[in-house]
Amino acid sequence: MSDTSLVRGWCPDLFAPMQARDGFLVRIRPPIEGFEADQVRAIALMASDHGNGTIELTNRGNLQLRGFSLDSARLAGRTAIKCGLADQNPARERRRAVLVSPLAGYDPACHPDTAAVARKLQAELLADDRLASLPGKFGWGVDGGGLFPVGAISADIVLQARPDGWSVLCGGFATKVLDEAQAIEAVLAISFAFACQSEVKRPAHNASITKDVLERVGFLDCLQTMAAPIFTFPVGKLPGHRRGVGVPFGRLSASDLYFLAEQLGKDRLRITPWRSVVMPENTKNHPGFITEATDLRLRIEACIGVSGCERATEDVAQTALALASDVPPGCVLHVSGCVKGCAHPRVADMTLIARNGRYDVVRNGCTKDTVSWADRNLPDIRVLLSRELKEIKA
Ligand code: SF4
């Protein structure tokens, strides 16, 4: 592990653990098809024996394990490689970051080639050492649409299914429809162009530079894309004999993870970018999980807050729970410990940015958008929720 791995703000992975208030964080990226039961057990063991036992589902569909020492994080890295959970080359491991529609291969409405395209793309990315200079946070997605609507998967570069092929999305722009091979080639070309950039190396950081990059690699016909849909994960029955299980605030314990492993048999666990998991349909209920669509916790999002992060000033999950009954069905309230917005870096119906018991409020936006009402207290927030949000019927 290099010294650079200790730099704060580094995107954590197995080779680059990041220091937080409760210890080092390590992230494990799932295989394209999801985790096997033995891999899930190995991760639960790592979390309980070497970390503080808390595991988080990230909005990139990864598992984040908390509370490691630097030595135990190194040990976790070696275990993960042994269990087939990571590439032994740190630069290649970073290029495994391909997020796939979680119902690929199960949902008949999801493009039938979604998982195969993701495997091909990942193999090409791993083989392309020219991309080694991309930042650790750079990620790719393959969005097959279906029950989880097209546009729900976000990443720096996304291959998005169209009725007659694939389009490549990057920083708010989309290419024309391409066939599969052309689309993968386009992703590699755009990735390489960002790898060659001296400063702005991620599309979200500067729209005009992104447009220049796309034009430079031959996508002069790029179009502006629509904003991603506000999307609530459906718990319960899913296509393909699957079951959607919600995980409150995306946080679970090692024993919760063991429980999921025991339900899998020869099946696989898929992590969604909406802090939930896709399991086989016969998965039993567990009190720690969200299994009913009426559960109020489906309407709220919050980060680890003051217990795990030095930037937070309060337990934002508690604040979100206190407000959950004020959020109408179908709406999403995000309470963030700071402007970084880790728990939900997307648009929510209402976003609160907490600071010592007061809140800046963004309507229909994310933490980075213009504040609609500044410096409000909880009673003010309740008034805003009841005045501004109306039930959204499915
Ligand atoms: S949103 Fe801010 S306070 Fe919350 S975990 Fe991220 S950096 Fe920490």
Give per-residue pLDDT as tens, 131-152: 999 988 899 999 999 998 888 8
Structure token pair of residue 3: 């010294």
CA distances from 322 to 173, 296, 297, 317, 378 (A): 39, 11, 10, 9, 10
Q: Is the pLDDT of residue 3 over 60?
A: no
Nearest to 316 by CA among 362, 374, 355, 271: 355
Nearest to 27 by CA among 75, 69, 67, 62: 62
- Under a CB-based contact definition with an 8 Å cutoff, are residues 11 and 137 in contact? yes
Residue where a domain terminates, one of 182, 201, 224: 224
Mean pLDDT, residues 103-132 taken together: 97
What is the three-class DSSP state of 99? strand
For residue 259, name the pLDDT band (cuts at 50, 70, 90).
Answer: very high
Ligand 1 center from residue 342 Cα (angstroms) = 6
Ligand 1 atom closest to the Cα of residue 336 is 1
Condensed to tens digits (0 to 9), the pLDDT of residues 241-253 reads 999 999 999 999 9
For residue 270, what pLDDT is reported?
Answer: 98
DSSP state of 133: G
Shared-domain flag, residues 304 and 353: yes
- Beta strands 333-336 and 348-355 are parallel
Structure token pair of residue 71: 């030595």
Shared-domain flag, residues 118 and 163: yes
Q: Please tell me the total count of domains within the chain.
A: 3
Residue where a domain terminates, one of 177, 200, 224: 224
Report yes or no on 290 lying in a domain: no
Ligand 1 atom closest to the Cα of residue 20 is 8
Structure token pair of residue 289: 């999980």
Ligand 1 center from residue 389 Cα (angstroms) = 25
Of residues 230 and 181, more confidence is placed in: 181
For residue 15, name the pLDDT band (cuts at 50, 70, 90).
Answer: confident
Shared-domain flag, residues 168 and 253: no
φ and ψ of 383, to 5 deg: -65, -45
- Under a CB-based contact definition with an 8 Å cutoff, are residues 341 and 366 in contact? yes
Distance CA 154, CA 143 (A): 8
Shared-domain flag, residues 350 and 311: yes
Which residue's alpha carbon is nearest to atom 6 within ligand 1? Answer: 342
- What is the span of the domain harbouring residue 176? 111-144+155-224
Structure token pair of residue 248: 């409150």
Report yes or no on 132 lying in a domain: yes
Contacts of residue 169, defined as CB under 8 A and 6 or more positions apart, other chains included, come to 157, 158, 159, 160, 175, 225
Among 275, 309, 346, residue to substitute to test ligand 1 (most atoms within 8 Å of Cβ): 309
Ligand 1 atom closest to the Cα of residue 316 is 4
Contacts of residue 71, defined as CB under 8 A and 6 or more positions apart, other chains included, come to none
Ligand 1 atom closest to the Cα of residue 311 is 3
Residue where a domain terminates, one of 224, 243, 265: 224
Report yes or no on 289 lying in a domain: no
Ligand 1 atom closest to the Cα of residue 367 is 1
For residue 5, what pLDDT is reported?
Answer: 39
| Cα-Cα-Cα-Cα dihedral sign, residues 96, 100, 106, 111 | negative
Interior angle at CA 159, CA 278 and CA 247, nearest 5: 20
Shared-domain flag, residues 273 and 305: no
For residue 224, what pLDDT is reported?
Answer: 62
Could you report how far apart the first and last alpha carbons of the chain are, in Å? 48
For residue 370, what pLDDT is reported?
Answer: 97
Which residue's alpha carbon is nearest to atom 8 within ligand 1? Answer: 309
Condensed to tens digits (0 to 9), the pLDDT of residues 87-102 reads 999 999 999 999 999 9
Among 336, 352, 362, residue to substitute to test ligand 1 (most atoms within 8 Å of Cβ): 336
Of residues 382 and 174, more confidence is placed in: 382
Shared-domain flag, residues 273 and 302: no
Report yes or no on 104 lying in a domain: no
Distance CA 366, CA 349 (A): 9
Report yes or no on 106 lying in a domain: no
Ligand 1 center from residue 312 Cα (angstroms) = 6
Which residue's alpha carbon is nearest to atom 2 within ligand 1? Answer: 338
For residue 199, what pLDDT is reported?
Answer: 77
Shared-domain flag, residues 124 and 191: yes
Shared-domain flag, residues 264 and 302: no
Mean pLDDT, residues 307-316 taken together: 96
Residue 325 sits in a domain of what CATH number?
A: 3.30.413.10
Report yes or no on 301 lying in a domain: yes
For residue 38, name the pLDDT band (cuts at 50, 70, 90).
Answer: very high
Report yes or no on 105 lying in a domain: no
For residue 227, what pLDDT is reported?
Answer: 64
Which residue's alpha carbon is nearest to atom 4 within ligand 1? Answer: 337
Among 25, 306, 334, 342, residue to substitute to test ligand 1 (most atoms within 8 Å of Cβ): 342
Mean pLDDT, residues 197-203 taken together: 79
Shared-domain flag, residues 22 and 124: no
Protein residues with CB under 6 Å of any ligand 1 atom: 303-304, 309, 311-312, 336-338, 340-342
Ligand 1 center from residue 303 Cα (angstroms) = 6
Q: Is the pLDDT of residue 189 over 80?
A: yes
Distance CA 394, CA 105 (A): 24
Report yes or no on 333 lying in a domain: yes
Shared-domain flag, residues 115 and 170: yes
Q: Is the pLDDT of residue 59 over 70?
A: yes
Ligand 1 center from residue 337 Cα (angstroms) = 5
Q: Which residue has the tokens 């309740």?
A: 382
Distance CA 52, CA 84 (A): 23
Shared-domain flag, residues 121 and 205: yes
What is the three-class DSSP state of 89? coil
Shared-domain flag, residues 14 and 68: yes
For residue 1, what pLDDT is reported?
Answer: 39
Residue 45 sits in a domain of what CATH number?
A: 3.90.480.10
Share of the chain above pLDDT 70, in %: 92
Distance CA 309, CA 164 (A): 45
Average per-residue pLDDT in the chain?
91
- Under a CB-based contact definition with an 8 Å cutoff, are residues 142 and 153 in contact? yes
Secondary element (H or E) of residue 75: helix 70-82
For residue 16, name the pLDDT band (cuts at 50, 70, 90).
Answer: confident
Q: Is the pLDDT of residue 82 over 60?
A: yes
